[in-house]
Amino acid sequence: MSIDGLRRVRDNEKGWTCRKGGLFTLRNKEMLLIPGPTPVADEIYDALASETWAHTDPRFVKIFERGIALTKEMFHTDGEVYIFAGSGTLAMEMAVVNTVAPGEKLLVVSHGYFGDRFTQLGRAYGIQVETVQAEWGRHVDPDAVRHALAQGGFKAVTVTHVDTSTGVAANLDALVPVVKEAGALFILDGVCATAALEEDMQKTYGAPGYTIDVVLTGSQKAIGVPPGLGIVAFGPRALKARAEMARVPAYFLDIDNWRPVMENPGRYFATPPVNMIYAYRQGMEMVMAEGLPARYRRHEALGRAVRAGLAVYGMRALAGEDVAAPTLSCILYPDGVDDAAFRAKLASKGVVVAGALAHLAGKAFRIGHMGNVTGAMFAEAIRRIGETLQELGHPVDVSSAVARFEAVYGEGR
């Protein structure tokens, strides 16, 4: 019996299988350990493959209503949530265009490549955008944010909860109060964090009313559902901001067009992705069945353990443990490791990781450790990474790395 009490099976026909306490099974021919999409559990595949019903069928409406209710529960919001066909990027746009009008000011707090995208997005809609950036692998200094906001007039601030390029998790305890002191809306990009880190929209950060106003995310990362859905939650202040806007420069993304559907999914605005809603409802049932506190602990333990195991190979995470995310790590190569050769050989062993972005391309790889994944999978992945390094001529101690992973993961659990 392996760690977590998981039974592991590997054969060429069925692929990789993990079972945990009857909660889910995971059978895939490869371990897809990229920043997203993440491995999909059989129960979600089965839901996705169910017979397609009419989008006005009462049976589908009931499933959609349940997905909406579970989403509100996850974000602990007394506002509204919107679930629609699209990517996390489209969710970013929905969050911004419904809160910041053309000509108004938006401050982008960026910990990496995906935080920077808000700058381009805002300018595309005629918004005045300023950016506060961190060195890759580090937090943005809250004092730098406070200094920028002191210029006045900012309608909202965007913060990426986990930047997929760097593996840095934002410090909400430090940033939310700074933003709220300035009277701005706090928009949180949760694409690489939701369902793995707390995103409680009624939690107060330091003072009454100091809360997150908008959370946006996608279906394909820590929620563990295939790509295809954008999800955005708006709190009361964000909804008030939309109500005060005469119009928004969008049609599909205008939440006023979607609100009747979210209140009663039997109504029509645009045809929903019926089978993806099946899958999403099942994925959210699994998230809530595990329990949010337990799921947060599992991700935190897994992230620390993966980085500890890889460190035995001389593979150092870009983000130090004080800023590192539970969901994804950007891992720097030791001297002499060829990125393309390493990732290709590792993929031939059934473990798929991603290359690094921008100036880190070729110098690092990114490994996702989020969603419906298990400690047993990552113990095996650490082993195969070590074997790959050995085959490329880099002597490493595989057994020590796996043992280190298991020890840290066990302590964290």
Residues 156 and 15 in one domain: no
Spatial contact of 331 and 303, defined as CB atoms under 8 Å apart: no
How would residue 4 be classed by pLDDT, with cut points 50, 70 and 90? very low
Note the pLDDT tens digit of each residue in 61-86.
Answer: 999 999 999 999 999 999 999 999 99
Measured CA to CA, the distance from residue 413 to residue 403 in angstroms comes to: 15
Residues 187 and 56 in one domain: yes
Measured CA to CA, the distance from residue 99 to residue 245 in angstroms comes to: 8
Residues 277 and 299 in one domain: no
Residues 243 and 135 in one domain: yes
Residue 242 falls within a domain, yes or no? yes
Q: Mark which of 272, 288, 304 sits at the end of a domain.
A: 288
Amino acid letter for position 12: N
Average pLDDT estimate for 235-253: 97
Q: Mark which of 288, 318, 353 sits at the end of a domain.
A: 288
Residues 200 and 93 in one domain: yes
Residue 159 falls within a domain, yes or no? yes
CATH code of the domain in which 282 resides: 3.40.640.10
Q: Is 314 helix (H, G, I), strand (E, B) or coil?
A: coil
User: Would you say 366 is a known binding-site residue?
Assistant: yes
Residues 12 and 58 in one domain: no
Overall number of domains in the chain: 2
Residues 205 and 345 in one domain: no
Within 236-357, where are the H helices?
A: 236-243, 255-263, 274-290, 292-311, 339-348
Note the pLDDT tens digit of each residue in 260-274.
Answer: 999 999 999 999 999
How would residue 131 be classed by pLDDT, with cut points 50, 70 and 90? very high
User: For residue 100, is pLDDT > 70?
Assistant: yes
Average pLDDT estimate for 275-293: 98
How would residue 28 be classed by pLDDT, with cut points 50, 70 and 90? confident
Domain that holds residue 407: 3-32+291-412
Structure-block tokens of residue 305:
């353990």
CATH code of the domain in which 384 resides: 3.90.1150.10
Average pLDDT estimate for 287-310: 98
Q: Mark which of 235, 267, 288 sits at the end of a domain.
A: 288
The pLDDT of residue 404:
98
The average confidence (pLDDT) of the chain is 94
Measured CA to CA, the distance from residue 241 to residue 186 in angstroms comes to: 12
Residues 162 and 250 in one domain: yes
